[in-house]
């Protein structure tokens, strides 16, 4: 059934269709309509779901850790400060290998106070051991949530699904909403690896000495290394059931191009338009949409370089002292490769500044004109 819904509403549908059993969330702009929508859907009796209206985001994740250990499918949503507040518990969720799905609406972190789109919040959490999946449109948001639970429960890693503040969260688009009957065979009930059972008592998260800790972390890394293969299989199945597919990265534009433009989130939709226009003007450019940030799709990207000499990366985030985080991760992935195009790291759109077609064009033109970037960080649209 197709409906015109906002990104937040799409999240709510995704959660309901996934038969989530425990939700625990704390309101923060611009996530609020997710929890409001969910409250209404639950109150209308559509699902046997407990919604714990906790008193902070840290408690929200802690409650889900408790619930997931208790063997039920869990969900939370947050943004910005809320995600930052949860930081300690994000580490805990992955260390405890709990298949929790979190939706983060990308928003800037204060000060200055700012409620608009910015990827710094989710990317600040890149070391916490969560799979991170970024969405370009509301359909992708809903579909990613369904896939996220599959991936999480197969890899035993928590998954963060990310969408832009306002641009997606509060913007309506047409979305095909599957039925529960269609989703159920795709998403079987959750079966925990270690059941919480008073008949077979076990202690969870026991202290581990240096003798063993390394091996536990090794296992998390190994699980991350399996994500690409598992995510592909999940996507294959998703395609066969629902006719839609989302790879870790998507290349579009010229088949063979001199320049690649790497973007994520809604910037990608604007980029598609710009790249099309520039190709018509004769620019040798293609676009790479990054859907999966963590684990960083190094292999997939390398396969798609196909001779390009330059890659422009537009980061809607800043790791102060380093620059754009996607750019940094890209550079790290390419370091050991034979093919190492020049990386042009652009930063734009922080705190919700519009990344206009003009700015994207400017970035590509700069990349065309310069053999190598003249600055380590190229600020798009900066008012000096």
Partner 1 sequence: MSKLLHFKGASDMPMISISLGNMDWNKTGAWRAQRPFYEDKTPPCRAACPAGNDIVAFIQKITQGDFEGAWNVIKEENPFPGICGRVCFHPCESKCNRGDYDEPIAIHALERFVSDFASKLNKRVEKVPGVRKEKVAIIGSGPAGMSCAYHLAKLYYDVTVFESLSLSGGMLRSGIPSYRLPKDVLDREISNIEALGVELRTGIALGENLAWDDLKDYQATFIATGAHQGRSLQIPGEKAKSVLSGLDLLRRINRNQKVKLGDKIAIIGGGNTAIDVARSVIRLGKKATILYRRSREEMPAFEDEMVEAIEEGVKIRYLTNPIRIQQKDGLKRLECLRIELGDKDESGRRRPVPISHSNFFIEADSVIIAAGEEIEVSFLPKGIEKREGIILTQRDGSTGIKGIFAGGDLTSNQRTVAHAIGSGKKVALAIHGYFNGKNTEEVIRQTLIGEGPSISIFRHLHPEDRPMDSHVVTFGELNTDYFEPSKRHQESKCPVKQRTKGFGEVTVTFPESIAVEEAERCFSCGTCNGCENCYVFCPDASILKTEDILSHQVDYDFCKGCGICFSECPRGAISLKEETR
Partner 2 sequence: MKKIEIPSAENLGHGHLACAGCGAAVSMRLSLKALGEKTVMVFPASCWSIVPGFWPYSSFRIPVIHAGFVTGGATASGVRAALDIRGDRESVVAVWAGDGGTFDIGLQALSGAAERNEDFIYICNDNEGYMNTGTQQSSATPMFAWTTTTPVMQPKENPKKDIMAIMADHHIPYAATATIAYPEDLLRKIGKAKRIRGTRFIHLLSPCPPGWRVPSELTIRISRLAVRSRIFPLYEIENGITYTLQEESHVVPVKEYLKLQGRFSHLAEPEVEVIQKNAEKVWERLRRKAES
52 binds partner 2, rule: CB under 8 A: yes
Contact assessment for residue 50 and residue 74, using Cβ atoms and an 8 Å cutoff? no
Closest listed residue to residue 121, CA positions, set 38, 217, 35, 57: 57
Q: Which of 66, 71, 95, 351 binds partner 1 (CB under 8 A)?
A: 95
223-282 positions binding partner 2, by CB under 8 A:
none
Q: How far apart, in whole angstroms, are the C-alpha atoms of residue 326 and residue 43?
A: 40
Torsion (CA) 17, 149, 99, 84 in degrees, nearest 10: -80
* Residue 197 interacts with, from partner 2, partner 1, none (CB under 5-8 Å by kind): partner 2
Torsion (CA) 20, 128, 137, 233 in degrees, nearest 10: -70
240 binds partner 1, rule: CB under 8 A: no
* Residue 215 interacts with, from partner 2, partner 1, none (CB under 5-8 Å by kind): partner 1
Nearer to partner 2, 208 or 322 (CB): 208
279 binds partner 1, rule: CB under 8 A: no
What is the Rg, in whole angstroms, of the alpha carbon atoms belonging to the chain?
21
Q: How far apart, in whole angstroms, are the C-alpha atoms of residue 21 and residue 62?
A: 16
> Going by C-beta distance under 8 Å and a sequence separation of 6 or more, which residues neighbour residue 218?
none
Kind and range of the H or E element at 240?
helix 210-242
Distance spanning both ends of the chain, measured CA to CA: 49
* Residue 20 interacts with, from partner 2, partner 1, none (CB under 5-8 Å by kind): none
Q: How far apart, in whole angstroms, are the C-alpha atoms of residue 30 and residue 355?
A: 19
Q: How far apart are CB 218 and partner 1 at their closest, in Å?
A: 5
Contact assessment for residue 101 and residue 158, using Cβ atoms and an 8 Å cutoff? yes
Q: For residue 206, what are the CA distances in angstroms to 90, 95, 203, 212?
A: 18, 11, 6, 11
216 binds partner 1, rule: CB under 8 A: yes
Instruction: Tell me, rounded to whole angstroms, the distance of Cα 11 from its chain centroid.
Output: 13
Specify the stretch interacting with partner 1 by CB under 8 A; choose among 15-23, 52-60, 209-217, 309-317: 209-217
54 binds partner 2, rule: CB under 8 A: yes
Q: How far apart, in whole angstroms, are the C-alpha atoms of residue 384 and residue 367?
A: 21
145-174 positions binding partner 1, by CB under 8 A:
156
88 binds partner 2, rule: CB under 8 A: yes
Q: Which of 176, 212, 239, 332 binds partner 2 (CB under 8 A)?
A: 212
Q: Which of 1, 43, 207, 320 binds partner 1 (CB under 8 A)?
A: 207
* Residue 1 interacts with, from partner 1, partner 2, none (CB under 5-8 Å by kind): none
> Going by C-beta distance under 8 Å and a sequence separation of 6 or more, which residues neighbour residue 375?
none
169-208 positions binding partner 2, by CB under 8 A:
196-198, 200-208
Q: How far apart are CB 220 and partner 1 at their closest, in Å?
A: 9
Pairing label, strands 292-294, 101-106: unpaired
By CB under 8 A, the count of residues binding partner 2 is: 42
Q: Which of 127, 189, 212, 303 binds partner 1 (CB under 8 A)?
A: 212
Nearer to partner 1, 156 or 244 (CB): 156
Nearer to partner 1, 96 or 302 (CB): 96
1 binds partner 1, rule: CB under 8 A: no
Q: How far apart are CB 129 and partner 1 at their closest, in Å?
A: 12
- E-strand stretches of 41-171: 50-52, 74-78, 101-106, 131-134, 159-164
Q: Note the residues at the interface with partner 1 (CB under 8 A).
A: 95-97, 156, 193-194, 202-208, 212, 215-216, 218-219, 222
Which positions touch partner 2 (CB under 8 A)?
Answer: 21-22, 24, 48, 50, 52-56, 58-60, 62-72, 74, 88-89, 92, 196-198, 200-209, 212
């Amino acid at each position: 059934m197709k409906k015109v819904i906002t990104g937040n509403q799409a999240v709510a549908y995704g959660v309901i269709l996934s038969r989530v059993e425990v939700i625990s969330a704390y309101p923060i702009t611009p996530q609020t309509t997710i929890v409001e929508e969910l409250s209404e859907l639950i109150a209308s009796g559509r699902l046997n779901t407990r919604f714990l209206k906790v008193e902070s985001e840290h408690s929200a994740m802690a409650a889900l850790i408790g619930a997931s250990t208790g063997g039920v499918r869990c969900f939370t949503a947050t943004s910005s400060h809320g995600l930052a507040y949860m930081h300690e518990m994000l580490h805990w969720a992955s260390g405890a290998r709990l298949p929790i799905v979190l939706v983060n609406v990308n928003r800037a972190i204060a000060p200055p106070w700012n409620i608009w789109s910015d990827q710094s919040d989710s990317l600040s959490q890149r070391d916490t051991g969560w799979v991170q999946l970024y969405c370009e449109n509301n359909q992708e948001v809903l579909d990613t949530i369904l896939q996220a639970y599959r991936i999480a429960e197969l890899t035993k890693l928590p998954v963060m699904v990310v969408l832009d503040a306002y641009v997606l969260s509060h913007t309506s688009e047409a979305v095909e909403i599957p039925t529960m009957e269609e989703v159920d065979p795709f998403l079987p009930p959750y079966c925990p690896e270690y059941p919480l059972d008073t008949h077979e008592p076990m202690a969870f998260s026991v202290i581990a000495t240096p003798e063993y800790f390394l091996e536990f972390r090794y296992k998390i890394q190994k699980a991350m290394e399996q994500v690409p293969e598992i995510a592909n299989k999940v996507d294959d199945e998703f395609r066969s059931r629902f006719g839609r597919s989302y790879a870790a990265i998507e290349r579009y534009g010229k088949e063979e191009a001199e320049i690649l433009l790497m973007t994520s989130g809604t910037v990608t939709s604007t980029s598609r338009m710009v790249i099309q226009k520039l190709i018509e003007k004769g620019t040798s450019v293609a676009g790479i949409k990054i859907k999966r940030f963590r684990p960083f799709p190094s292999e997939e990207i390398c396969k798609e370089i196909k001779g390009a000499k330059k890659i422009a990366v537009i980061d809607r985030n800043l790791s102060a002292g380093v620059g754009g985080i996607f750019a940094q991760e890209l550079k790290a992935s390419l370091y050991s490769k034979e093919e190492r195009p020049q990386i042009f790291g652009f930063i734009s759109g922080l705190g919700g500044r519009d990344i206009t077609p003009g700015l994207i064009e400017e970035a590509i033109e700069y990349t065309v004109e310069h053999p190598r970037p003249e600055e380590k960080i190229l600020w798009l649209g900066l008012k000096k």
